[in-house]
Structures are given as structure tokens and as C-alpha cells.
Structure 1
Amino acid sequence: MKNTPPVYILRHGQTEWNLAQRLQGSLDSPLTELGRAQAAVQGRLLRDVFAREQAEVVVSPLGRTRETAAIAMKGHALKAAPRFDERIAEINAGDWEGLERTEIARRWPLSREASCDFEYYIGAPNGEGVEALRSRCHDFLNELTVPTILVTHGICSVMLRGLLCGLDHETMCALPLTQGCIFEIRGGEEQILQEAK
């Protein structure tokens, strides 16, 4: 997308259901100890972001993103309180929400044919689907006028990053779903901000 200000995307930290290989979608589970540590890493990475940007903060209204944002934003002097926007909530995974991947594979054998997590989620029966996700993410990004930090989810982040970078489906499938980092998109190019190991 052209003329979009810099966007910094944070995926929420690991949750109990991530660990259990259980699909969340529009459902929720709390962060694990590792997930809280990942959010703290994001908070440290944000020091450099806030040092150079007067960024707004927008958070998905789901509990795992709220918890991540509370940890990551702690100690930062924000110009305004974070606002919540349902358009950056995770994709609804329909009949698969709350189920473990092994059960999904048993009951829906074709699910095994998905080439990536993005394709897997958008193919969920009675789920939101790719076009609805694309539409709400596109509408949200079109409204941005200042540098913005987003605290969102894995599949939603893939769509947001794909739109911002002008990617096709296959390239979006290859995007990493890393937790504990920041995806910085500036001028249609993505850079991953991580702590040195």
C-alpha cells in the first residue's frame, strides 16, 4: 500500500492454547510464562521505536493482545492511551475454534493439505475466510495517517504485512509468525526487529 506511514506489528506472546496446538481464532487463552517474557522483549524493542517516532498504539480487543500490550507498553510515555480496534482481531476460525490440530486433522482430513498456517486458518469451515479478513485489514490500514504500533495476532498480522508490502498469497504464506519480535514495515519493505542473542 502506498503512502502508508511506518507500521510496527507485534504478535501477542505465546498463549496456553498456542502451546497446546489448540486453535484460538476469536476465542482466547492467557499468555504463558514464555509469552509474558516475549511481550517484555517487545517492550524493550519499543524503546528505539518510541525514541524516533511519535507513534499511536492500536490493540486487538482480545485478551491475549491486551495482556501483551500491557506488558510491552509498560514504562513507555505514550502520547495517548492505546485504542482498541476489532479490525485487527484474529481471523474467526469457525468450526475449528477451540479444537486441537490433531482433532481437526482427524475430522477434516483435507486440512492437512494447507501449505502454511495462513492457508490453514483461512480454509476453516464456517470461518471468516480470506476476503473478509482482507477487507477489514485494508479498511483499517487505509485510515492510518501517523506511525502506528499494532498489537495483533499471527494470521491477521500476515494479512496486514502482506497488504502493506504488496505480497501475493504464496509470498504471504512464507512470512514468519514469530513471537517476541516487531515487524517494522516502512515504504512497503519489512524488517524484523529482534533482540541480539
Structure 2
Amino acid sequence: MPAPVIYYIRHGETAWNAEGRFQGSQDIPLNDLGRRQAADAGGILTDLFARDGRNRSSLTFVASPLSRARSTMELVRGVLKLPTGGYAVDARLREIGYGRWEGATLAQMQASDPELFAARLSDKWTIPPPDGESYASVQARVSDWYNQLTSDTVAVAHGGTARALMVALGVETSDSAADLTIEQGAVYVFGDGGLRKYS
């Protein structure tokens, strides 16, 4: 059986995104721009499905449990003219946990723990934030999620889980993915052993 195609969307912008604050497990809602970005992603999906002759009703839809991802999913489904609540939630898609650094900016992280901050600059994939989660552990749970997929899927989650999935599927290395910008309002299509971004 061919590997499932994943249409991956990072949630739209929140106030903390705009302020450069790391959210992790904090449940920060979408701002106005974030809601527009979610609708834009829905429009991109509509065009992709029309181009590829995809029946949107035949796809699986799943989101991270955090409200910024769920709200994005509901706005996307609205644009697709699907019932807003017709999707699953999977905790394995939650954002990387930043522990005591949640709510902080990069400058505040560095000031609070300069030695750990410096160590993470050279090995962000395996060194977790204080009381937080490493990218390697996120990669393990995202791999677990991916390995149980049985159909093509629309997933709405986070920047951290996108990076982990890229590494899990071999389209990026841990070094290249660690600081990769994951665009909001875009659709990342994982399929045929590769990745394409549509924005």
C-alpha cells in the first residue's frame, strides 16, 4: 500500500507568535491574522483538491488538541464546506513542550539560563528546555502517529511537530529542521517520499 499523503497545516498566528513568545503547551487562541491565515490555508486546500481530483469527504482530518490548532482546523473545514466538527483530535500532534521557557522570548530564555541556551544552540534536537521536551521525543510521538495512518490525511498542528515529521520521514535532517521556519497559512504536502509547500 502506498504511504498516505499528508496535507499538513500549521495553526494560524496567535498574539504570542506575534510577540515572539514560545507557546509550547500553553493554550493561546488565534488572533485576527491567524484566523485569516487559517481561511487562506482552506482556500489552498480547495485548489489542491480540485487540481488533483480529490474528494475532500474521503480524507481523514485530525488536529492537535490545543485550541489554536482546533480553531484553525474548524476554519479550514468551513472553507471546504465541511461540517466544522468532523475531525479527530490526537495528543501526539501537540506542540513541543518548552517547560519553564513557555511564554518567554529568545532573549528571556538566554537570560534565564545562558548555559542551557548555549548548549541547545549546538544541539537543539536532543537537549530539552528546562522541564521541557526534546525534539527527539517529539519525533518519536509524531512517528508513532504517522505509522498508524491508513488513509490520506489533513493534519493541523504546530511548527515543532512539522519539523519532527520532516525528520521522521527523511525529508530533512535534525540539523536542517531544528531552525526551519514553518509558515502559517501554507499547506505542506508530504507524499511520494518528498515534501512540497503551497502558499
TM range (shorter): 0.7 to 0.9
Write out per-residue CA displacement over residues 139-182 of structure 1, whole angstroms, 9 at most, x where no aligned residue: 10001111111100011111112212353212223533111100
Deviation at 1:187, TM superposition (A): 1.6
- Tell me if 1:16 matches 2:15: yes
Partner of 1:74 in structure 2? 78
SS at match of 1:151: strand
Mapping for residues 47-126 of structure 1, pairs under 5 Å: 47-51=46-50, 52-53=53-54, 54-78=58-82, 81-110=86-115, 111=117, 114-115=120-121, 119=124, 123-126=128-131
Instruction: Determine what percentage of the aligned residue pairs are the same residue.
Output: 32
CA distance in 2, matches of 1:157, 1:187: 17
CA distance in 2, matches of 1:121, 1:63: 27
The letter of the residue matching 2:77 is M
Aligned to 1:138: 143
Q: 1:154 aligns with which of 143, 153, 159?
A: 159
Q: Give the equivalent residue in structure 2 for 1:32.
A: 31
Unpaired stretches in structure 2, ≥5 consecutive residues: none
Match of 1:192 in 2: 197
Cα drift, residue 104 of structure 1: 1.2
Read off the aligned partner of 2:59 and give its amino acid letter: A
Deviations 1:45-97 (A, max 9, x none): 11134333332111001010011111111042549911000001101111111
Structure 1 unaligned spans of 5+: none
Is contact 2:125-2:178 (8 Å) kept?
Answer: no
What TM-score results when the alignment is normalised by the length of structure 1?
0.87
> SS where residue 41 of structure 1 aligns?
helix
SS of structure 1 residue aligned to 2:124 = helix
Change (3 A) 1:96 1:28: same
Cα RMSD (Å) of the superposition? Answer: 2.5
Residue 101 of structure 1: CA displacement? 2.7
Corresponding residue of 1:176: 181
Tell me the TM-score normalised to structure 2 length. 0.86
